[in-house]
């Protein structure tokens, strides 16, 4: 009975899309309806792969019909099906299509949500794609001047790049986070949520990002670059007002003096110990290497 219903739907779809002398245009609405019913039947019967493929067909029909928003939403549904099938590569491909369609057709807010939700699902299986989607989400937030949300997404992307030891990308995203944070306006909704109405909020929020940037440079054994980041942060981002300032300055001074004991004491500061797990790996790796290097 179910098979008959699906086949009947596909047959009706065929005739909906068929043109003739008397029928100049395809009946996309009819085809979408029949394919949509077939997709739902597959989904209810737990035939996930067939459902995913059919939802993709529905998306393609919406695109041909000029309904780009609905096309994107169908791609998103299909992507969820592929997630359940653990076909994360196909999921990422469809999310990229959906997000692009939403952005190009005037709904960046929806695009940001689609990117963010997909990124959370892809953090473990495809961390690189997850980082890319977090950055796209940040970019979409920026379009609507939602700087607080944009900063949050940039931070998520930076965290993943640190985990992957892609430090150039991590630095770029951390700097993007700082840029979004400092661009928050007092009179914007995002600024109110993010706390930017407090003049000291921006340097406080940027303090952690600056600390991570400096730790990355030290981890890469580039003490000169670490000092440059520190000086830049003081000049541009009021790092001297951040809670991390004193501890970071002590650490850099200890490294410069090659003072093992001072370095050990500096790295025990609370601002280093509360870093998230991905950044903590860099911190702990640096601690271990610094003990050995300074001891020599």
Model pTM? 0.83
Q: Output the pLDDT for position 258.
A: 84
Is 145 a residue whose pLDDT tops 60? yes
pLDDT level of residue 283 (50, 70, 90 thresholds): low
Residue-wise pLDDT for 201-219, tens only, equals 778 889 999 999 999 998 8
What is the arithmetic mean of pLDDT over 89-100?
98
CATH says 31-106 is which class?
mainly alpha
Domain boundaries along the sequence of the chain? 31-106
Q: Would you place residue 286 in the very low, low, confident or very high pLDDT band (cuts 50, 70, 90)? A: low
98 touches 86 (CB < 8 A): no
Taking the CA atoms of residue 157, residue 246, residue 201 and residue 131 in that order, the dihedral angle to the nearest 10 degrees is 0
Question: Cα(first)–Cα(last) distance of the chain, in Å?
Answer: 79
The residue-averaged pLDDT of 13-25 equals 46
pLDDT in tens, 45-59: 999 999 999 999 999
Give ∠ CA 103-171-166 in degrees, rounded to 5: 90
């Amino acid at each position: 009975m179910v098979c008959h219903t699906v086949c009947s739907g596909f047959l009706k779809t065929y005739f909906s899309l068929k043109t003739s002398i008397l029928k100049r245009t395809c009946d996309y609405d009819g085809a979408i309806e029949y394919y949509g019913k077939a997709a739902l039947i597959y989904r209810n019967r737990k035939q996930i792969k067939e459902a995913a493929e059919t939802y993709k067909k529905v998306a393609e029909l919406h695109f041909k019909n000029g309904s780009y928003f609905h096309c994107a939403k169908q791609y998103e549904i299909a992507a969820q099906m592929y997630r359940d099938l653990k076909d994360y590569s196909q999921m990422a491909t469809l999310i990229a299509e959906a997000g692009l369609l939403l952005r190009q057709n005037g709904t960046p807010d929806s695009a940001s949500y689609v990117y963010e939700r997909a990124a959370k699902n892809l953090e473990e299986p495809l961390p690189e794609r997850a980082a890319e989607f977090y950055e796209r989400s940040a970019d979409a937030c920026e379009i609507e001047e939602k700087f607080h949300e944009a900063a949050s997404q940039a931070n998520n992307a930076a965290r993943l790049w640190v985990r992957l030891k892609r430090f150039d990308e991590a630095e770029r995203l951390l700097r993007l986070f700082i840029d979004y944070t400092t661009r928050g306006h007092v009179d914007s909704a995002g600024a109110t949520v993010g706390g930017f109405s407090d003049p000291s909020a921006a340097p406080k929020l940027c303090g952690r990002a600056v600390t991570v940037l400096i730790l990355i440079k030290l981890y890469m054994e580039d003490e000169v670059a670490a000092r440059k980041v520190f000086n830049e942060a003081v000049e541009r981002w009021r790092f001297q007002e951040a809670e991390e300032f004193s501890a970071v300055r002590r650490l850099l001074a200890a490294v410069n003096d090659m003072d093992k004991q001072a370095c050990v004491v500096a790295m025990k500061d609370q601002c280093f110990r509360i870093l998230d797990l991905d950044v903590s790996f860099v911190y702990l790796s640096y601690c271990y290497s610094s003990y050995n290097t300074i001891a020599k």
